[in-house]
């Protein structure tokens, strides 16, 4: 699995270096990011890289700073978080701010729920974050409205006043992965990660994996 | 929305097909699901309650008129004229005094935290004293004192509550007109022994009369119309709702256990002699809130309440269904509370007048009725478990899901005149440790349930946001700012002392259910 990921990493990397010039909206600051997050910042499931296009400016700034300071990506089990921590270590404040602004200005790509192709089903057994076939958005709705909507809004658009990002631009797979990270203490357990701790506490109110899948299934209907 | 409701309908249908097949199986097996031959309940249920309960100190029903005895009046009268402040007069008043308010317009919130105060409006030639919140103020009248009476006010254009009781006992709220006052019209919370009578309420976006976490309550002779919920008895016991007129609300009369509140039961509720007519108003409840899940056209809705008896009500023209009996699992916008029993058990439907209900049932109900080869919604529908329930004269109504109900052994509730107490409840002795709990029960829980969106964000979410920081809550509730588009604005709690605010905040961060 890891080998597969490294291979795709290189394939994507090569492909991107060739086509980099077409990423017109984004300045050079973004070049390193595009390797994983895609040239249009649409995210890349194969690399577990979330979509960045349309991410709230304040949220990107906060998360990049968290990675830089080791507030996020501080757990060895959080492989992708560790990658990010390494990737942003050298960004300056000016770069962070202008990147966040550029990304916020992009139109988010609509992330449709994943279609189960034979290939993706093949990797399913190895990837615990693949959405299950039997999700129940109705049951997820009850959790969402009770536990999530107070901060992320009943339409999942986020709320700056409560420091909560929008959820609808992300893929179901990414949302499931992060909910599990919060729940398992891989994210939101650093003492300085105030908002992460809030999220971790709420993620732990979901009783089991099915509840996580259901709530994400509901988010994808928003 | 249309997609999800279609899916739900399909699920229902599959489910139903299974039920139908199961039912046929039962018939073939010569088993009987017709419960009419089973006699349910004690014939003397409402005759001997006084004798039954006399052992539990003063918890005895009495007399023939619902009333709460007051001490003979020998206090002072404080008169408030147009242009003066009611609050200033209340501040002057001592326990046992009366504040008389003359006709005029008063733009204020009145907070009464002492015992034995009577706040009475004086109506002169049809001119009422008016409390006007101008859509800026949150609450008209808040009381936490015991033995409080409020009467003869016209209350309008507040954003939160018309009259809210915060753990006050022995209250009388009568003869008020409450128009377009936001979330709750008359809302006694966590009170024991109280009367709500002869009030008229309209334009309320949650419950017009909301009896929350109370005991020994009498709700009578009120008119409620054009609200989302007309009269709601929630997480309360020993209540009578009689002689009210509930029309053109989304739902007329509700008996609920709402999950996530600190008091977990609703039982012993009599609903009798009410008119429940044409409750077909569009639902204008806050999105995602519990009442927003009530289908329009609902006459009486019983969700998880136990020992609820319906007698001699006129229930007509409710386009979804006359009476719905359901559980937490079938209700929209709810998460389960492991400590609250989710079913409506021991429901008794005595003789009632029902016709012309169900002209336009919601899809879920329509799908169920199709199995009965009916295009109409029912007079009575039961979904979810309901043990030891009974009905009289079942042949008079179009019903779904009540074949298992037995036949009631009793046919009247009139032996029980009232659940009000013979002697008023003694004032609470409040220790410092209990102060936070009392504030949480009496104030916060009016809008914040533990894990359900009631009006404000759930307590669990607040715990995540503030964690070890009760002072953060105090700062916020002292001077709240609107943060959420789809929630009403939090009303300032600055009328509470700093001590009470911090105690409530600490309790809120510690509460576990």
For the stretch B345-361, pLDDT in tens is 999 999 999 999 999 99
Comparing C-alpha atoms, which of B506, B512, B504 is closest to residue B442? Answer: B504
Report which of residues B72 and B18 the model is more confident about: B72
| Residue in A with minimal Cα distance to B293 | A142
Chain A: nearest CA to B168, how far in angstroms? 29
Chain A: nearest CA to B232, how far in angstroms? 21
Q: Say if residue B257's pLDDT is above 70.
A: yes
Contact B217/B188 with Cβ under 8 angstroms?
yes
Mean pLDDT of chain B: 89
Note the pLDDT tens digit of each residue in B450-462: 988 888 999 999 9
For the entire predicted model, the pTM comes to 0.80
pLDDT at B55: 41
pLDDT at B218: 97
Do the Cβ atoms of B486 and A153 come within 8 Å? yes
pLDDT confidence tier of residue A20, bands split at 50, 70 and 90: very low
pLDDT confidence tier of residue B331, bands split at 50, 70 and 90: confident
pLDDT at B65: 59
Mean pLDDT value of segment A96-115: 80
A84 alpha-carbon distance from chain centroid: 11
Report which of residues B385 and A128 the model is more confident about: B385
Do the Cβ atoms of A137 and B4 come within 8 Å? yes
Instruction: Provide ipTM, 2 decimals.
Output: 0.73
| Residue in A with minimal Cα distance to B469 | A194
Mean pLDDT value of segment A183-200: 92
pLDDT at B31: 44
What is residue A213's three-state secondary structure?
A: helix
Tokens 């032996």 correspond to what residue? Answer: B415
Residues of A in contact with B9 (CB under 8 A): none
Nearest-angstrom CA–CA distance, B234 and B245: 19
| DSSP, residue by residue, B457-483 | --HHHHHHHHTT-HHHHHHHHHS----
Chain A: nearest CA to B169, how far in angstroms? 31
What is residue B489's three-state secondary structure?
A: coil
| Residue in B with minimal Cα distance to A152 | B484
- Compute how many other C-beta atoms are within 10 angstroms of the C-beta atom of residue B27: 11
Percent of chain B with pLDDT over 90: 70
Report which of residues B485 and B499 the model is more confident about: B499
Note the pLDDT tens digit of each residue in B154-165: 999 999 999 999
pLDDT at A135: 74
pLDDT at A5: 52
Tell me the two tokens of residue B170. 């022995």
| Residue in B with minimal Cα distance to A194 | B465
**Hey, is the C-beta of B464 within 8 angstroms of any chain A C-beta?**
yes
pLDDT confidence tier of residue B17, bands split at 50, 70 and 90: low
Contact B160/B488 with Cβ under 8 angstroms?
yes
Q: Which of A20-24, B326-330, B494-498 has the lowest mean pLDDT?
A: A20-24
Tell me the two tokens of residue B50. 């006084």
Do the Cβ atoms of A142 and B335 come within 8 Å? yes
Report which of residues B309 and B372 the model is more confident about: B309
| Residue in B with minimal Cα distance to A164 | B465
pLDDT confidence tier of residue B61, bands split at 50, 70 and 90: very low
Do the Cβ atoms of B458 and A138 come within 8 Å? no
Choosing among A135, A142, A145, which should be mutated to test the B contact, i.e. which has the most B CBs within 10 A?
A: A145
Shortest CB distance from A142 goes to which of B8, B334, B463?
B334
Q: Hey, what domains does chain A have and what are their CATH numbers?
A: 2-104 (1.10.760.10), 118-219 (1.10.760.10)
Distances (CA, A) of B497 to A154, B90, B447, B472, B501: 34, 17, 20, 16, 6
Note the pLDDT tens digit of each residue in B378-399: 999 999 999 999 999 999 999 9
Chain B: nearest CA to A214, how far in angstroms? 13
**Hey, is the C-beta of B460 within 8 angstroms of any chain A C-beta?**
yes
Nearest-angstrom CA–CA distance, B485 and B39: 52
Contact B347/B41 with Cβ under 8 angstroms?
no
Note the pLDDT tens digit of each residue in A131-184: 445 678 888 888 898 889 999 998 999 999 999 999 998 989 999 999 999 999
Note the pLDDT tens digit of each residue in B273-304: 999 999 999 999 987 778 888 999 999 999 99
Residues of B in contact with A199 (CB under 8 A): 464
Report which of residues B127 and B33 the model is more confident about: B127
Alpha helix stretches (DSSP H) within B338-469: 363-370, 432-442, 459-466
Q: Which CATH superfamily is domain B432-510 in?
A: Cytochrome c-like domain (1.10.760.10)
Chain B: nearest CA to A7, how far in angstroms? 40
Rg (CA), chain A: 17
Distances (CA, A) of B450 to B1, B43, B329, B332: 27, 39, 17, 17
A-contacting residues of B 275-314, CB under 8 Å?
Answer: 287-288
Q: Say if residue A104's pLDDT is above 80.
A: yes
pLDDT at A123: 41
pLDDT confidence tier of residue B262, bands split at 50, 70 and 90: very high
What is residue A214's three-state secondary structure?
A: helix
- Compute how many other C-beta atoms are within 10 angstroms of the C-beta atom of residue B110: 25
Note the pLDDT tens digit of each residue in B145-193: 999 999 999 999 999 999 999 999 999 999 999 999 989 999 999 999 9
pLDDT at A45: 84
Choosing among B465, B466, B472, B473, which should be mutated to test the A contact, i.e. which has the most A CBs within 10 A?
A: B465
What is residue B167's three-state secondary structure?
A: coil
Q: Say if residue A64's pLDDT is above 50.
A: yes
| Residue in B with minimal Cα distance to A145 | B288
pLDDT at B430: 78
Report which of residues A128 and B440 the model is more confident about: B440
CA angle A84, A85, A87 (to 5 degrees): 60
pLDDT at B37: 87
**Hey, is the C-beta of B469 within 8 angstroms of any chain A C-beta?**
no
The ranges assigned to domains in chain B are: 1-62+225-328+343-427, 65-182, 432-510
pLDDT at A23: 42
Mean pLDDT value of segment B140-147: 96
Do the Cβ atoms of A146 and B484 come within 8 Å? no
Do the Cβ atoms of B335 and A143 come within 8 Å? yes
B409 φ/ψ angles, rounded to the nearest 5 degrees = -80, -10
Q: Which of A125-134, B100-109, B328-337, B428-437 has the lowest mean pLDDT?
A: A125-134
Q: Which of A72-86, B87-101, B303-317 has the lowest mean pLDDT?
A: A72-86
pLDDT at B14: 53
């Amino acid at each position: 699995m890891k080998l597969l990921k490294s291979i795709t990493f290189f394939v994507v990397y090569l492909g991107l270096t060739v086509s980099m010039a077409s990423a017109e909206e984004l300045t050079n600051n973004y070049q390193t990011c595009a390797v994983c997050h895609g040239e249009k910042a649409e995210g890349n499931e194969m690399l577990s890289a979330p979509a960045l296009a349309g991410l709230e400016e304040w949220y990107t700034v906060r998360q990049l700073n968290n990675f830089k300071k080791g507030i996020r990506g501080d757990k060895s089990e959080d492989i992708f978080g560790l990658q990010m921590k390494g990737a942003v270590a050298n960004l300056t404040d000016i770069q962070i701010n202008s990147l966040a602004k550029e990304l916020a200005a992009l139109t988010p790509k609509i992330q449709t729920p994943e279609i189960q192709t034979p290939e993706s089903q093949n990797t399913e057994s190895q990837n615990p974050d693949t959405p299950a076939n039997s999700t129940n958005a109705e049951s997820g709705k009850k959790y969402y409205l009770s536990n999530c909507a107070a901060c992320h809004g009943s339409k999942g658009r986020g709320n700056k006043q409560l420091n909560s990002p929008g959820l609808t631009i992300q893929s179901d797979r990414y949302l499931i992965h992060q909910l599990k990270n919060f729940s398992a203490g891989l994210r939101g357990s650093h003492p300085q990660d105030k908002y992460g701790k809030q999220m971790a506490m709420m993620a732990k109110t979901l009783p089991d994996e099915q509840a996580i899948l259901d709530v994400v299934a509901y988010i994808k209907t928003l | 929305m249309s997609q999800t409701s279609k899916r739900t309908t399909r699920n229902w249908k599959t489910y139903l097909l299974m039920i139908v097949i199961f039912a046929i199986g039962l018939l073939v097996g010569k088993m009987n699901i017709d419960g009419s031959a089973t006699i349910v309940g004690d014939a003397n249920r409402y005759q001997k309650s006084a004798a039954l309960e006399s052992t539990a100190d003063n918890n005895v029903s009495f007399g023939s008129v619902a009333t709460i005895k007051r001490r003979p009046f020998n206090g002072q009268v404080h008169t408030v004229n147009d242009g003066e402040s009611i609050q200033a007069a209340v501040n002057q008043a001592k326990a046992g005094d009366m504040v008389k308010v003359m006709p005029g317009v008063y733009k204020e919130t009145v907070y009464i935290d002492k015992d034995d105060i009577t706040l009475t409006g004086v109506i002169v030639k049809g001119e009422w004293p008016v409390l006007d919140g101008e859509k800026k103020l949150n609450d008209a009248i808040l009381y936490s004192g015991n033995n409080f009476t409020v009467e003869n006010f016209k209350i309008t254009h507040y954003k939160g509550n018309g009259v809210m009781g915060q753990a006050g006992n022995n209250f009388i709220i009568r003869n008020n007109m409450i128009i377009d006052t936001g979330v709750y019209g008359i809302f006694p919370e966590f009170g024991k022994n109280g009367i709500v009578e002869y009030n008229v309420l309209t334009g309320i976006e949650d419950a017009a009369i909301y009896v929350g976490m109370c005991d020994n309550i009498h709700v009578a002779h009120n008119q409620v119309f054009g609200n989302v919920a007309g009269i709601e008895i929630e997480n309360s016991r020993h209540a009578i709702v009689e002689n009210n007129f509930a029309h053109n609300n989304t739902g007329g009369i509700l008996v609920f256990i709402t999950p996530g509140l600190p008091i977990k039961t609703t039982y012993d509720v009599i609903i009798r002699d009410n008119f429940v007519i044409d409750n077909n108003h569009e639902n204008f409840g806050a999105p995602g809130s519990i009442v927003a899940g009530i289908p329009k056209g609902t006459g009486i809705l019983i969700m998880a309440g136990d020992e609820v008896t319906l007698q001699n009500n006129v229930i007509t023209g409710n386009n979804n269904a006359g009476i719905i009996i359901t559980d937490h699992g079938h209700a929209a916008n709810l998460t389960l509370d492991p400590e609250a029993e989710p079913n409506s058990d021991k429901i008794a439907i005595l003789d009632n007048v029902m016709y012309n209900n169900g002209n336009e049932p919601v899809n879920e109900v329509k799908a169920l009725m199709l199995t009965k080869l009916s295009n109409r919604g029912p007079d009575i529908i039961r979904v979810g478990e309901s043990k030891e329930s009974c009905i009289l004269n079942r042949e008079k109504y179009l019903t779904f899901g009540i074949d298992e109900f037995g036949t009631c052994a009793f046919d009247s509730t009139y032996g029980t005149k009232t659940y009000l107490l013979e002697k008023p409840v003694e004032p609470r002795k409040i220790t410092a440790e209990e102060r936070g709990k009392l504030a949480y029960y009496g104030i916060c829980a009016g809008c914040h349930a533990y894990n359900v969106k009631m009006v404000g964000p759930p307590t669990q979410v607040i715990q995540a946001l503030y964690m070890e920081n009760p002072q953060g809550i105090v700062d916020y509730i002292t001077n709240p700012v609107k943060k959420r588009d789809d929630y009403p604005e939090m009303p300032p709690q600055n009328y509470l002392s700093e001590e009470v605010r911090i105690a409530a905040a600490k309790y809120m961060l510690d509460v576990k259910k």
